[in-house]
């Protein structure tokens, strides 16, 4: 290899490494907002080290994806951590949610769905990749399109939803709770969107409606990933 080619090769590797390092690490989701907090908006993902400033009357709710911590913060300065926030001069209520966010995030990564193992030769018996703890899923789609959700541990339940651009809240999210839809607690489902498939279970004690979002979030990889 020539010296010039070697230099370009090293530069290319360095660029890839730099891109990987600078990729955002989404640790929490802004589930609710009142007032005008500086640094985050409703349904934004936030990253470690990010600072959110709240006026005395401002309120924000953060749902941490992996630690399943849910924080309600009124006023003050919020510094986002990896599992919880640091709060200065504000009021904090912190609670542990039921969620399976770490496994849900792994399932949403682009590539083969490694968690989908078929047993006994039956195409309908599938190990779920993650569990939801609310029966009205929040779907993160990032683009309009057709979503097909069917129950696979029992026959007869199938949902086909043509999601338009106008129905995507904050350009990315479709909430079953907005239309009064819910899946069956205890059921195992396969969801398909944009050539992706995810298999999940609804916890038997799940409730319908607007329960904490991190506990009912289904995240599909962006179509361009």
Residue 11 has pLDDT above 60, yes or no: no
Q: Per-domain residue ranges for the chain?
A: 28-96, 101-219
Residue 76 has pLDDT above 50, yes or no: yes
Cα–Cα distance for residue pair 200/128, rounded to 1 Å:
5
User: Which pTM does this prediction carry?
Assistant: 0.82
Contact 97, 133 (CB under 8 A): yes
- What does the pLDDT read at residue 117? 41
Query: What does the pLDDT look like over 102-146, one tens digit per residue?
Result: 999 999 886 554 434 444 444 455 789 999 999 999 999 989 999
> Length of the chain, please?
225
Cα–Cα distance for residue pair 43/62, rounded to 1 Å:
9
Average model confidence (pLDDT) across the chain: 86
Contact 101, 66 (CB under 8 A): yes
């Amino acid at each position: 290899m020539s010296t010039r080619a070697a230099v370009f090769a090293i530069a290319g590797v360095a660029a890839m490494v730099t891109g990987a390092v600078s990729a955002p690490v989404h640790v929490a989701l802004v589930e609710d907002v009142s007032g005008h907090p500086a640094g985050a908006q409703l349904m934004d993902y936030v990253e470690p080290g990010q600072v959110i400033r709240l006026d005395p009357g401002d309120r924000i709710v953060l749902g941490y994806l992996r630690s399943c911590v849910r924080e309600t913060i009124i006023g003050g300065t919020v510094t986002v951590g990896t599992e919880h926030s640091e709060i200065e001069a504000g009021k904090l209520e912190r609670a542990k949610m039921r969620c399976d966010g770490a496994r849900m995030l792994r399932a949403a990564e682009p590539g083969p769905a490694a968690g989908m193992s078929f047993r006994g030769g039956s195409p309908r018996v599938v190990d779920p990749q993650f569990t939801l703890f609310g029966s009205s899923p929040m779907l993160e789609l990032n683009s309009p399109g057709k979503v097909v959700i069917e129950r696979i541990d029992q026959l007869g339940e199938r949902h086909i939803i043509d999601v338009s651009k106008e129905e995507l809240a904050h350009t990315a999210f479709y909430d079953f709770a907005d239309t009064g839809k819910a899946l069956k607690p205890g059921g195992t489902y396969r969801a398909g969107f944009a050539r992706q498939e995810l298999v999940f279970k609804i916890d038997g004690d799940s409730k319908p409606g607007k329960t904490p979002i991190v506990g009912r979030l289904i995240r599909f990889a962006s179509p361009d990933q």
